[in-house]
Structure 1
Protein backbone atom coordinates (compact mmCIF):
# COMPACT_ATOMS: atom_id res chain seq x y z
CA UNK A 1 0.00 0.00 0.00
CA UNK A 2 1.35 3.41 -0.97
CA UNK A 3 1.86 6.27 1.47
CA UNK A 4 -1.06 8.11 -0.13
CA UNK A 5 -3.38 5.11 0.36
CA UNK A 6 -2.30 4.71 3.97
CA UNK A 7 -2.89 8.41 4.63
CA UNK A 8 -6.35 8.20 3.06
CA UNK A 9 -7.23 5.12 5.11
CA UNK A 10 -6.00 6.88 8.26
CA UNK A 11 -8.12 9.96 7.54
CA UNK A 12 -11.18 7.81 6.91
CA UNK A 13 -10.57 5.94 10.17
CA UNK A 14 -10.19 9.18 12.11
CA UNK A 15 -13.37 10.56 10.51
CA UNK A 16 -15.24 7.40 11.49
CA UNK A 17 -14.10 7.65 15.11
CA UNK A 18 -14.99 11.35 15.14
CA UNK A 19 -18.57 10.51 14.16
CA UNK A 20 -18.67 7.76 16.81
CA UNK A 21 -17.25 9.97 19.54
CA UNK A 22 -20.55 11.59 20.74
CA UNK A 23 -22.26 8.21 21.04
CA UNK A 24 -19.15 6.72 22.64
CA UNK A 25 -19.03 9.49 25.25
CA UNK A 26 -22.72 8.98 26.02
CA UNK A 27 -22.28 5.18 26.22
CA UNK A 28 -19.28 5.41 28.56
CA UNK A 29 -20.86 8.11 30.75
CA UNK A 30 -24.35 6.67 31.06
CA UNK A 31 -23.78 2.90 30.65
CA UNK A 32 -20.22 1.78 31.37
CA UNK A 33 -19.52 4.14 34.29
CA UNK A 34 -22.85 3.39 36.09
CA UNK A 35 -22.18 -0.35 35.67
CA UNK A 36 -18.74 -0.03 37.25
CA UNK A 37 -20.14 2.21 39.99
CA UNK A 38 -22.92 -0.32 40.65
CA UNK A 39 -20.44 -3.16 41.19
CA UNK A 40 -18.20 -0.92 43.32
CA UNK A 41 -21.04 0.35 45.53
CA UNK A 42 -22.35 -3.19 46.09
CA UNK A 43 -19.42 -3.72 48.47
CA UNK A 44 -20.40 -0.74 50.64
CA UNK A 45 -23.09 0.15 53.12
CA UNK A 46 -24.18 3.14 51.10
CA UNK A 47 -27.03 5.48 51.96
CA UNK A 48 -27.90 9.18 52.03
CA UNK A 49 -26.44 11.64 54.51
CA UNK A 50 -23.16 9.87 55.42
CA UNK A 51 -19.98 8.42 54.02
CA UNK A 52 -20.08 4.97 52.47
CA UNK A 53 -18.84 2.19 54.75
CA UNK A 54 -16.93 -0.70 53.20
CA UNK A 55 -18.58 -4.01 54.17
CA UNK A 56 -17.08 -6.43 51.63
CA UNK A 57 -19.46 -9.22 50.67
CA UNK A 58 -21.92 -8.49 53.49
CA UNK A 59 -24.61 -7.25 51.10
CA UNK A 60 -24.40 -10.50 49.13
CA UNK A 61 -24.50 -12.56 52.33
CA UNK A 62 -27.57 -10.63 53.47
CA UNK A 63 -29.19 -11.30 50.10
CA UNK A 64 -28.77 -15.04 50.62
CA UNK A 65 -30.67 -14.70 53.91
CA UNK A 66 -33.37 -12.34 52.63
CA UNK A 67 -36.67 -14.18 52.21
CA UNK A 68 -38.23 -11.27 50.32
CA UNK A 69 -35.38 -11.38 47.80
CA UNK A 70 -35.84 -15.11 47.27
CA UNK A 71 -39.58 -14.56 46.85
CA UNK A 72 -38.90 -11.82 44.31
CA UNK A 73 -36.45 -14.11 42.49
CA UNK A 74 -39.07 -16.89 42.43
CA UNK A 75 -41.71 -14.54 41.00
CA UNK A 76 -39.25 -13.29 38.39
CA UNK A 77 -38.37 -16.84 37.34
CA UNK A 78 -42.07 -17.72 37.07
CA UNK A 79 -42.64 -14.68 34.85
CA UNK A 80 -39.70 -15.68 32.62
CA UNK A 81 -40.67 -19.36 32.41
CA UNK A 82 -44.23 -18.50 31.41
CA UNK A 83 -43.84 -15.37 29.29
CA UNK A 84 -40.78 -16.27 27.19
CA UNK A 85 -42.01 -19.51 25.58
CA UNK A 86 -45.60 -18.28 25.30
CA UNK A 87 -44.46 -15.04 23.65
CA UNK A 88 -42.19 -16.82 21.18
CA UNK A 89 -44.69 -19.57 20.26
CA UNK A 90 -47.67 -17.23 19.98
CA UNK A 91 -45.68 -14.68 17.94
CA UNK A 92 -44.44 -17.35 15.55
CA UNK A 93 -47.94 -18.79 15.14
CA UNK A 94 -49.50 -15.38 14.40
CA UNK A 95 -46.68 -14.52 12.01
CA UNK A 96 -47.10 -17.82 10.16
CA UNK A 97 -50.78 -17.01 9.67
CA UNK A 98 -50.50 -13.39 8.53
CA UNK A 99 -47.21 -13.20 6.59
CA UNK A 100 -48.80 -14.55 3.39
CA UNK A 101 -51.73 -12.13 3.54
CA UNK A 102 -51.99 -9.29 1.07
CA UNK A 103 -50.26 -6.05 2.02
CA UNK A 104 -53.07 -4.09 3.74
CA UNK A 105 -54.29 -7.07 5.80
CA UNK A 106 -50.80 -8.04 6.97
CA UNK A 107 -49.97 -4.41 7.82
CA UNK A 108 -53.21 -4.04 9.76
CA UNK A 109 -52.52 -7.11 11.91
CA UNK A 110 -48.93 -6.02 12.56
CA UNK A 111 -50.19 -2.58 13.60
CA UNK A 112 -52.81 -4.06 15.94
CA UNK A 113 -50.33 -6.35 17.70
CA UNK A 114 -47.61 -3.69 17.83
CA UNK A 115 -49.86 -0.96 19.23
CA UNK A 116 -49.39 -1.95 22.93
CA UNK A 117 -45.61 -1.75 22.43
CA UNK A 118 -45.64 1.91 21.43
CA UNK A 119 -48.36 2.85 23.91
CA UNK A 120 -47.05 4.36 27.13
CA UNK A 121 -46.73 2.05 30.14
CA UNK A 122 -48.89 4.36 32.23
CA UNK A 123 -51.74 4.30 29.69
CA UNK A 124 -51.55 0.51 29.41
CA UNK A 125 -51.54 0.14 33.19
CA UNK A 126 -54.53 2.45 33.62
CA UNK A 127 -56.61 0.51 31.08
CA UNK A 128 -55.74 -2.88 32.61
CA UNK A 129 -56.33 -1.58 36.14
CA UNK A 130 -59.84 -0.58 35.07
CA UNK A 131 -60.42 -3.99 33.47
CA UNK A 132 -59.28 -5.77 36.66
CA UNK A 133 -61.19 -3.46 39.01
CA UNK A 134 -63.00 -5.51 41.64
CA UNK A 135 -66.14 -3.32 41.57
CA UNK A 136 -66.77 -2.31 37.96
CA UNK A 137 -64.04 -4.07 35.97
CA UNK A 138 -64.90 -5.77 32.71
CA UNK A 139 -63.53 -9.16 33.82
CA UNK A 140 -65.85 -9.34 36.81
CA UNK A 141 -68.75 -8.03 34.72
CA UNK A 142 -68.30 -10.62 31.96
CA UNK A 143 -67.47 -13.42 34.40
CA UNK A 144 -70.64 -12.86 36.39
CA UNK A 145 -72.65 -12.35 33.22
CA UNK A 146 -71.76 -15.76 31.76
CA UNK A 147 -71.94 -17.53 35.13
CA UNK A 148 -68.22 -18.18 35.63
CA UNK A 149 -68.04 -16.02 38.77
CA UNK A 150 -70.38 -15.94 41.74
CA UNK A 151 -68.98 -12.70 43.14
CA UNK A 152 -66.51 -10.00 42.24
CA UNK A 153 -62.83 -10.87 42.53
CA UNK A 154 -60.14 -8.41 43.55
CA UNK A 155 -57.78 -9.61 40.82
CA UNK A 156 -54.81 -7.40 41.67
CA UNK A 157 -55.39 -7.56 45.41
CA UNK A 158 -55.57 -11.35 45.77
CA UNK A 159 -52.34 -13.33 46.13
CA UNK A 160 -53.82 -16.16 44.05
CA UNK A 161 -54.40 -14.04 40.96
CA UNK A 162 -52.15 -10.97 41.12
CA UNK A 163 -49.02 -12.47 39.58
CA UNK A 164 -51.04 -14.18 36.84
CA UNK A 165 -52.63 -10.84 35.96
CA UNK A 166 -49.19 -9.23 35.68
CA UNK A 167 -48.01 -12.03 33.36
CA UNK A 168 -51.11 -11.63 31.18
CA UNK A 169 -50.51 -7.91 30.80
CA UNK A 170 -46.82 -8.49 30.09
CA UNK A 171 -47.69 -10.95 27.32
CA UNK A 172 -49.95 -8.44 25.57
CA UNK A 173 -47.14 -5.86 25.53
CA UNK A 174 -44.42 -8.34 24.52
CA UNK A 175 -45.73 -10.03 21.36
CA UNK A 176 -45.76 -6.99 19.06
CA UNK A 177 -42.05 -6.77 18.28
CA UNK A 178 -41.54 -10.55 17.81
CA UNK A 179 -44.48 -10.68 15.40
CA UNK A 180 -43.03 -7.90 13.27
CA UNK A 181 -39.62 -9.59 13.28
CA UNK A 182 -41.00 -13.03 12.45
CA UNK A 183 -43.10 -11.69 9.58
CA UNK A 184 -39.99 -10.15 8.05
CA UNK A 185 -37.97 -13.32 8.65
CA UNK A 186 -40.60 -15.57 7.06
CA UNK A 187 -40.81 -13.29 4.04
CA UNK A 188 -37.05 -13.70 3.58
CA UNK A 189 -37.20 -17.52 3.55
CA UNK A 190 -35.99 -18.99 0.25
CA UNK A 191 -39.28 -20.01 -1.36
CA UNK A 192 -37.55 -22.12 -4.00
CA UNK A 193 -36.51 -24.57 -1.29
CA UNK A 194 -40.07 -24.70 0.06
CA UNK A 195 -41.48 -25.34 -3.42
CA UNK A 196 -38.90 -28.05 -4.08
CA UNK A 197 -39.82 -29.78 -0.82
CA UNK A 198 -43.53 -29.59 -1.67
CA UNK A 199 -42.84 -31.17 -5.05
CA UNK A 200 -41.06 -34.00 -3.23
CA UNK A 201 -44.16 -34.57 -1.10
CA UNK A 202 -43.33 -32.64 2.09
CA UNK A 203 -46.33 -31.42 4.07
CA UNK A 204 -46.65 -27.99 5.67
CA UNK A 205 -45.16 -29.03 8.99
CA UNK A 206 -42.17 -30.68 7.34
CA UNK A 207 -41.58 -27.61 5.17
CA UNK A 208 -41.68 -25.41 8.24
CA UNK A 209 -39.50 -27.61 10.48
CA UNK A 210 -36.87 -28.60 7.91
CA UNK A 211 -36.66 -25.45 5.78
CA UNK A 212 -38.23 -22.38 7.37
CA UNK A 213 -37.21 -22.99 10.97
CA UNK A 214 -33.43 -23.16 10.33
CA UNK A 215 -33.61 -19.97 8.26
CA UNK A 216 -35.46 -17.99 10.96
CA UNK A 217 -33.25 -19.30 13.79
CA UNK A 218 -31.26 -16.01 14.08
CA UNK A 219 -34.53 -14.14 14.56
CA UNK A 220 -35.69 -16.71 17.10
CA UNK A 221 -32.45 -16.33 19.05
CA UNK A 222 -32.86 -12.55 19.11
CA UNK A 223 -36.49 -12.86 20.24
CA UNK A 224 -35.55 -15.33 22.99
CA UNK A 225 -32.74 -13.17 24.37
CA UNK A 226 -34.67 -9.88 24.24
CA UNK A 227 -37.85 -11.42 25.70
CA UNK A 228 -35.86 -13.05 28.50
CA UNK A 229 -34.13 -9.78 29.38
CA UNK A 230 -37.40 -7.83 29.28
CA UNK A 231 -39.12 -10.42 31.48
CA UNK A 232 -36.32 -10.30 34.05
CA UNK A 233 -36.55 -6.50 34.04
CA UNK A 234 -40.31 -6.35 34.60
CA UNK A 235 -40.81 -3.26 36.75
CA UNK A 236 -43.21 -0.66 35.37
CA UNK A 237 -46.31 -2.86 35.57
CA UNK A 238 -45.49 -3.87 39.14
CA UNK A 239 -44.88 -0.28 40.19
CA UNK A 240 -48.05 1.04 38.57
CA UNK A 241 -50.47 -1.78 39.43
CA UNK A 242 -49.51 -3.60 42.64
CA UNK A 243 -46.35 -2.06 44.16
CA UNK A 244 -45.21 -5.59 44.91
CA UNK A 245 -48.36 -6.53 46.83
CA UNK A 246 -50.38 -8.09 48.12
CA UNK A 247 -47.95 -9.40 50.76
CA UNK A 248 -44.97 -9.30 48.33
CA UNK A 249 -46.72 -11.78 46.01
CA UNK A 250 -45.85 -9.73 42.91
CA UNK A 251 -42.39 -8.58 43.92
CA UNK A 252 -39.79 -8.96 41.19
CA UNK A 253 -36.05 -8.44 41.47
CA UNK A 254 -36.26 -5.15 39.58
CA UNK A 255 -39.01 -3.83 41.83
CA UNK A 256 -37.19 -4.98 44.97
CA UNK A 257 -34.04 -3.19 43.75
CA UNK A 258 -36.09 -0.01 43.35
CA UNK A 259 -37.74 -0.49 46.75
CA UNK A 260 -34.46 -1.13 48.57
CA UNK A 261 -32.53 1.68 46.91
CA UNK A 262 -35.13 4.46 46.65
CA UNK A 263 -37.57 3.65 49.44
CA UNK A 264 -35.23 2.25 52.10
CA UNK A 265 -32.18 4.19 50.82
CA UNK A 266 -30.03 1.04 50.93
CA UNK A 267 -28.09 1.80 47.75
CA UNK A 268 -25.33 -0.76 48.32
CA UNK A 269 -27.86 -3.51 48.97
CA UNK A 270 -29.86 -2.56 45.88
CA UNK A 271 -26.71 -2.53 43.75
CA UNK A 272 -25.79 -5.99 45.02
CA UNK A 273 -29.15 -7.22 43.74
CA UNK A 274 -28.47 -5.47 40.44
CA UNK A 275 -25.16 -7.31 40.08
CA UNK A 276 -26.84 -10.66 40.83
CA UNK A 277 -29.56 -9.92 38.26
CA UNK A 278 -26.97 -8.95 35.63
CA UNK A 279 -25.06 -12.19 36.22
CA UNK A 280 -28.24 -14.27 35.91
CA UNK A 281 -29.24 -12.56 32.64
CA UNK A 282 -25.71 -12.91 31.23
CA UNK A 283 -25.57 -16.63 32.04
CA UNK A 284 -29.01 -17.32 30.54
CA UNK A 285 -28.19 -15.32 27.41
CA UNK A 286 -24.93 -17.26 26.98
CA UNK A 287 -26.81 -20.56 27.36
CA UNK A 288 -29.37 -19.47 24.76
CA UNK A 289 -26.62 -18.49 22.32
CA UNK A 290 -24.86 -21.82 22.92
CA UNK A 291 -28.02 -23.89 22.38
CA UNK A 292 -28.94 -21.95 19.23
CA UNK A 293 -25.41 -22.40 17.86
CA UNK A 294 -25.56 -26.12 18.61
CA UNK A 295 -28.87 -26.46 16.79
Structure 2
Protein backbone atom coordinates (compact mmCIF):
# COMPACT_ATOMS: atom_id res chain seq x y z
CA UNK A 1 0.00 0.00 0.00
CA UNK A 2 1.38 3.37 -0.99
CA UNK A 3 1.88 6.23 1.45
CA UNK A 4 -0.92 8.26 -0.17
CA UNK A 5 -3.40 5.37 0.25
CA UNK A 6 -2.31 4.87 3.87
CA UNK A 7 -2.84 8.56 4.54
CA UNK A 8 -6.25 8.46 2.87
CA UNK A 9 -7.21 5.36 4.89
CA UNK A 10 -6.09 7.00 8.16
CA UNK A 11 -8.40 9.93 7.45
CA UNK A 12 -11.35 7.58 7.03
CA UNK A 13 -10.47 5.71 10.22
CA UNK A 14 -10.63 8.96 12.19
CA UNK A 15 -13.73 10.28 10.41
CA UNK A 16 -15.80 7.07 10.28
CA UNK A 17 -16.88 6.92 13.97
CA UNK A 18 -18.16 10.50 13.81
CA UNK A 19 -19.93 9.84 10.50
CA UNK A 20 -21.61 6.73 11.87
CA UNK A 21 -22.73 8.60 14.98
CA UNK A 22 -24.05 11.51 12.88
CA UNK A 23 -25.89 9.11 10.56
CA UNK A 24 -27.48 7.18 13.43
CA UNK A 25 -28.50 10.24 15.48
CA UNK A 26 -29.35 12.76 12.73
CA UNK A 27 -29.59 11.35 9.19
CA UNK A 28 -31.46 8.11 9.92
CA UNK A 29 -34.16 9.70 12.16
CA UNK A 30 -34.75 12.48 9.61
CA UNK A 31 -34.95 9.98 6.72
CA UNK A 32 -37.26 7.71 8.72
CA UNK A 33 -39.52 10.63 9.70
CA UNK A 34 -39.60 11.80 6.09
CA UNK A 35 -40.76 8.40 4.83
CA UNK A 36 -43.23 8.06 7.73
CA UNK A 37 -44.70 11.50 7.00
CA UNK A 38 -46.42 10.08 3.89
CA UNK A 39 -48.23 7.41 5.90
CA UNK A 40 -51.01 7.03 8.44
CA UNK A 41 -49.71 5.04 11.43
CA UNK A 42 -50.84 4.69 15.03
CA UNK A 43 -47.73 2.84 16.18
CA UNK A 44 -49.33 -0.62 16.18
CA UNK A 45 -50.66 -1.56 12.75
CA UNK A 46 -48.71 -1.42 9.52
CA UNK A 47 -48.29 2.14 8.14
CA UNK A 48 -50.79 2.98 5.38
CA UNK A 49 -49.60 5.16 2.49
CA UNK A 50 -51.55 8.45 2.27
CA UNK A 51 -49.19 10.56 0.16
CA UNK A 52 -49.38 14.29 0.88
CA UNK A 53 -52.57 14.02 2.93
CA UNK A 54 -50.82 14.73 6.23
CA UNK A 55 -49.19 17.88 4.87
CA UNK A 56 -52.51 19.09 3.47
CA UNK A 57 -54.24 18.62 6.83
CA UNK A 58 -51.42 20.45 8.63
CA UNK A 59 -51.50 23.48 6.34
CA UNK A 60 -55.29 23.73 6.69
CA UNK A 61 -55.28 23.36 10.49
CA UNK A 62 -55.79 26.78 12.19
CA UNK A 63 -54.06 25.45 15.32
CA UNK A 64 -50.92 24.74 13.31
CA UNK A 65 -51.05 28.14 11.63
CA UNK A 66 -51.30 29.85 15.02
CA UNK A 67 -48.43 27.68 16.30
CA UNK A 68 -46.37 28.71 13.27
CA UNK A 69 -47.16 32.36 13.98
CA UNK A 70 -45.99 31.93 17.59
CA UNK A 71 -42.78 30.24 16.44
CA UNK A 72 -42.03 33.04 14.00
CA UNK A 73 -42.53 35.55 16.82
CA UNK A 74 -40.03 33.57 18.91
CA UNK A 75 -37.59 33.61 15.97
CA UNK A 76 -38.07 37.39 15.73
CA UNK A 77 -37.50 38.00 19.45
CA UNK A 78 -34.40 35.79 19.30
CA UNK A 79 -32.81 37.29 16.18
CA UNK A 80 -33.91 40.91 16.65
CA UNK A 81 -34.08 40.95 20.45
CA UNK A 82 -31.67 38.56 22.17
CA UNK A 83 -28.82 38.96 19.66
CA UNK A 84 -28.73 42.80 19.46
CA UNK A 85 -29.23 43.14 23.21
CA UNK A 86 -26.55 40.54 23.91
CA UNK A 87 -24.19 42.33 21.54
CA UNK A 88 -24.86 45.69 23.19
CA UNK A 89 -24.25 44.28 26.68
CA UNK A 90 -21.04 42.61 25.49
CA UNK A 91 -19.88 45.92 23.96
CA UNK A 92 -20.55 47.75 27.24
CA UNK A 93 -18.55 45.15 29.15
CA UNK A 94 -15.69 45.11 26.65
CA UNK A 95 -15.37 48.89 26.61
CA UNK A 96 -15.71 48.99 30.42
CA UNK A 97 -18.68 51.37 30.17
CA UNK A 98 -20.42 49.77 33.19
CA UNK A 99 -19.21 49.58 36.77
CA UNK A 100 -18.72 46.24 38.51
CA UNK A 101 -18.43 44.43 35.19
CA UNK A 102 -18.02 40.95 36.70
CA UNK A 103 -21.16 41.27 38.81
CA UNK A 104 -23.07 42.71 35.84
CA UNK A 105 -21.92 39.84 33.62
CA UNK A 106 -22.92 37.22 36.21
CA UNK A 107 -26.34 38.80 36.74
CA UNK A 108 -27.15 38.80 32.99
CA UNK A 109 -25.82 35.27 32.41
CA UNK A 110 -27.44 33.68 35.49
CA UNK A 111 -30.91 32.94 33.98
CA UNK A 112 -29.53 30.50 31.40
CA UNK A 113 -28.03 28.37 34.20
CA UNK A 114 -31.49 27.76 35.71
CA UNK A 115 -33.60 24.83 34.53
CA UNK A 116 -36.34 25.89 32.07
CA UNK A 117 -38.92 24.15 34.27
CA UNK A 118 -37.83 26.19 37.28
CA UNK A 119 -37.88 29.36 35.15
CA UNK A 120 -41.42 28.50 33.99
CA UNK A 121 -42.65 27.99 37.57
CA UNK A 122 -40.95 31.21 38.69
CA UNK A 123 -42.52 33.34 35.95
CA UNK A 124 -45.91 31.68 36.37
CA UNK A 125 -45.85 32.99 39.93
CA UNK A 126 -44.75 36.44 38.75
CA UNK A 127 -47.62 36.63 36.24
CA UNK A 128 -50.21 35.06 38.56
CA UNK A 129 -53.07 37.02 40.14
CA UNK A 130 -51.01 37.33 43.32
CA UNK A 131 -47.72 37.97 41.52
CA UNK A 132 -45.53 41.04 41.39
CA UNK A 133 -46.68 42.13 37.90
CA UNK A 134 -50.32 42.33 38.94
CA UNK A 135 -49.34 44.01 42.22
CA UNK A 136 -47.37 46.73 40.39
CA UNK A 137 -50.20 47.35 37.89
CA UNK A 138 -52.71 47.61 40.75
CA UNK A 139 -50.45 50.10 42.50
CA UNK A 140 -49.94 52.23 39.37
CA UNK A 141 -53.57 52.21 38.22
CA UNK A 142 -55.26 52.24 41.61
CA UNK A 143 -57.46 49.30 40.56
CA UNK A 144 -57.38 46.99 43.56
CA UNK A 145 -59.35 44.28 41.72
CA UNK A 146 -57.22 44.26 38.54
CA UNK A 147 -56.71 40.78 37.08
CA UNK A 148 -54.16 40.07 34.35
CA UNK A 149 -56.04 38.71 31.32
CA UNK A 150 -53.31 38.70 28.69
CA UNK A 151 -53.26 34.89 28.58
CA UNK A 152 -56.95 34.95 27.60
CA UNK A 153 -56.20 36.95 24.45
CA UNK A 154 -55.36 34.78 21.43
CA UNK A 155 -53.07 37.38 19.85
CA UNK A 156 -51.31 38.59 23.01
CA UNK A 157 -51.03 35.41 25.10
CA UNK A 158 -47.55 34.62 23.73
CA UNK A 159 -46.07 38.02 24.77
CA UNK A 160 -45.17 37.01 28.37
CA UNK A 161 -43.39 33.95 26.97
CA UNK A 162 -41.43 36.15 24.55
CA UNK A 163 -40.33 38.36 27.45
CA UNK A 164 -39.22 35.33 29.47
CA UNK A 165 -37.23 33.98 26.49
CA UNK A 166 -35.60 37.39 26.03
CA UNK A 167 -34.65 37.50 29.72
CA UNK A 168 -33.42 33.91 29.75
CA UNK A 169 -31.25 33.66 26.63
CA UNK A 170 -29.75 37.13 26.15
CA UNK A 171 -26.92 36.25 28.53
CA UNK A 172 -25.77 33.39 26.30
CA UNK A 173 -25.21 35.69 23.34
CA UNK A 174 -23.60 38.30 25.58
CA UNK A 175 -20.96 35.76 26.67
CA UNK A 176 -20.31 34.63 23.07
CA UNK A 177 -19.86 38.19 21.81
CA UNK A 178 -17.82 39.23 24.83
CA UNK A 179 -15.40 36.33 24.25
CA UNK A 180 -15.03 37.29 20.57
CA UNK A 181 -14.58 40.99 21.36
CA UNK A 182 -11.67 40.12 23.63
CA UNK A 183 -9.89 38.57 20.63
CA UNK A 184 -9.78 41.93 18.84
CA UNK A 185 -6.43 43.69 18.63
CA UNK A 186 -6.55 46.53 21.20
CA UNK A 187 -4.19 48.69 19.15
CA UNK A 188 -6.82 49.08 16.39
CA UNK A 189 -9.34 50.62 18.80
CA UNK A 190 -6.62 52.69 20.48
CA UNK A 191 -5.55 54.10 17.11
CA UNK A 192 -9.18 54.98 16.34
CA UNK A 193 -9.48 56.74 19.71
CA UNK A 194 -6.31 58.73 19.05
CA UNK A 195 -7.79 59.82 15.71
CA UNK A 196 -10.81 61.16 17.61
CA UNK A 197 -13.35 58.41 16.91
CA UNK A 198 -16.26 58.20 19.36
CA UNK A 199 -17.52 54.95 20.90
CA UNK A 200 -20.41 54.93 18.44
CA UNK A 201 -18.12 55.40 15.45
CA UNK A 202 -15.80 52.62 16.62
CA UNK A 203 -18.82 50.36 17.13
CA UNK A 204 -20.20 50.99 13.62
CA UNK A 205 -16.96 51.10 11.65
CA UNK A 206 -14.63 48.66 13.44
CA UNK A 207 -16.36 46.35 15.90
CA UNK A 208 -19.58 45.55 14.05
CA UNK A 209 -17.95 44.67 10.67
CA UNK A 210 -15.43 42.39 12.40
CA UNK A 211 -18.24 40.50 14.18
CA UNK A 212 -20.50 39.74 11.20
CA UNK A 213 -19.40 36.09 11.04
CA UNK A 214 -20.05 35.60 14.76
CA UNK A 215 -23.43 37.33 14.51
CA UNK A 216 -24.42 35.07 11.60
CA UNK A 217 -23.41 31.98 13.57
CA UNK A 218 -25.38 33.01 16.65
CA UNK A 219 -28.37 33.85 14.44
CA UNK A 220 -28.29 30.27 13.15
CA UNK A 221 -28.33 29.02 16.76
CA UNK A 222 -31.22 31.38 17.52
CA UNK A 223 -33.31 30.26 14.54
CA UNK A 224 -32.81 26.53 15.09
CA UNK A 225 -33.43 26.87 18.83
CA UNK A 226 -36.55 28.98 18.32
CA UNK A 227 -38.18 26.53 15.90
CA UNK A 228 -37.74 23.63 18.31
CA UNK A 229 -38.72 25.61 21.44
CA UNK A 230 -40.61 23.27 23.75
CA UNK A 231 -39.56 22.79 27.38
CA UNK A 232 -40.06 26.30 28.79
CA UNK A 233 -43.38 26.85 26.98
CA UNK A 234 -44.72 23.39 27.82
CA UNK A 235 -43.85 23.84 31.51
CA UNK A 236 -45.20 27.40 31.58
CA UNK A 237 -48.52 27.06 29.75
CA UNK A 238 -48.65 23.64 28.09
CA UNK A 239 -49.60 25.48 24.91
CA UNK A 240 -52.85 26.74 26.46
CA UNK A 241 -55.23 28.17 27.05
CA UNK A 242 -57.09 26.95 23.94
CA UNK A 243 -53.80 26.57 21.99
CA UNK A 244 -53.11 30.33 22.33
CA UNK A 245 -49.43 29.81 23.31
CA UNK A 246 -48.86 26.59 21.38
CA UNK A 247 -45.78 26.25 19.19
CA UNK A 248 -45.02 23.73 16.44
CA UNK A 249 -42.99 21.42 18.72
CA UNK A 250 -45.90 21.15 21.19
CA UNK A 251 -48.32 20.68 18.28
CA UNK A 252 -46.13 17.82 17.03
CA UNK A 253 -45.78 16.29 20.51
CA UNK A 254 -49.52 16.33 21.23
CA UNK A 255 -50.50 14.83 17.88
CA UNK A 256 -47.78 12.18 18.01
CA UNK A 257 -47.83 10.98 21.62
CA UNK A 258 -51.33 11.95 22.78
CA UNK A 259 -53.38 11.13 19.68
CA UNK A 260 -50.94 8.46 18.37
CA UNK A 261 -50.76 10.00 14.89
CA UNK A 262 -47.14 9.13 14.15
CA UNK A 263 -47.32 9.83 10.42
CA UNK A 264 -48.95 13.20 11.05
CA UNK A 265 -46.38 14.07 13.74
CA UNK A 266 -43.54 13.06 11.40
CA UNK A 267 -44.90 15.44 8.76
CA UNK A 268 -44.88 18.25 11.32
CA UNK A 269 -41.25 17.45 12.21
CA UNK A 270 -40.26 17.60 8.54
CA UNK A 271 -41.94 21.00 8.26
CA UNK A 272 -39.83 22.18 11.23
CA UNK A 273 -36.67 20.98 9.47
CA UNK A 274 -37.64 22.67 6.19
CA UNK A 275 -38.45 25.93 7.99
CA UNK A 276 -35.12 25.86 9.80
CA UNK A 277 -33.15 25.12 6.62
CA UNK A 278 -35.02 27.79 4.65
CA UNK A 279 -34.52 30.51 7.25
CA UNK A 280 -30.85 29.60 7.74
CA UNK A 281 -30.18 29.71 3.98
CA UNK A 282 -31.89 33.11 3.82
CA UNK A 283 -29.75 34.30 6.74
CA UNK A 284 -26.56 33.08 5.08
CA UNK A 285 -27.49 34.93 1.87
CA UNK A 286 -27.85 38.24 3.71
CA UNK A 287 -24.75 37.65 5.86
CA UNK A 288 -22.63 37.06 2.73
CA UNK A 289 -23.96 40.30 1.24
CA UNK A 290 -22.99 42.16 4.42
CA UNK A 291 -19.53 40.61 4.46
CA UNK A 292 -18.94 41.69 0.85
CA UNK A 293 -20.17 45.19 1.73
CA UNK A 294 -17.63 45.59 4.55
CA UNK A 295 -14.71 43.90 2.75
TM-score by length of 1: 0.89
SS in 2 for 1:49: coil
Partner of 1:188: 183
- 2:46 is matched with which residue: 42, 51, 56? 51
- Give the number of the structure with larger relative contact order, counting CA–CA contacts within 8 Å between residues 6 or more apart: 2
- 2:136 is matched with which residue: 117, 142, 149? 142
Whole-Å separation in 1 of the counterparts to 2:54 and 2:201? 53
Whole-Å separation in 2 of the counterparts to 1:93 and 1:68? 36
- 1:16 matches 2:14: yes
SS in 2 for 1:146: helix
Whole-Å separation in 1 of the counterparts to 2:219 and 2:19? 27
Whole-Å separation in 2 of the counterparts to 1:14 and 1:227? 33
Whole-Å separation in 2 of the counterparts to 1:82 and 1:9? 48
- 1:255 is matched with which residue: 242, 247, 250? 250
Shift of 1:188: 1.7
Shift of 1:152: 2.5
Whole-Å separation in 2 of the counterparts to 1:263 and 1:62? 18
Shift of 1:49: 2.6
Whole-Å separation in 1 of the counterparts to 2:164 and 2:179? 25
Q: List gaps (5 residues or longer) in structure 2.
A: 291-295
* 1:83-120 deviations in Å (ceiling 9; x for gaps): 32011111111111112449x94343333222222221
Whole-Å separation in 1 of the counterparts to 2:123 and 2:255? 27
RMSD of aligned alpha carbons: 2.4
Partner of 1:97: 92
Shift of 1:69: 1.0
Are the equivalent residues in 1 in contact too, given 2:120–2:233 (CA < 8 A)?
A: no
* 1:183-227 deviations in Å (ceiling 9; x for gaps): 112212233222223333322212111111111111111121111
Q: List gaps (5 residues or longer) in structure 1.
A: none
Aligned residues: 288
Shift of 1:39: 0.4
Shift of 1:137: 1.3
- 1:289 matches 2:284: yes
Whole-Å separation in 2 of the counterparts to 1:64 and 1:160? 19
TM-score by length of 2: 0.89
* 1:61-87 deviations in Å (ceiling 9; x for gaps): 112211111111112112222332011
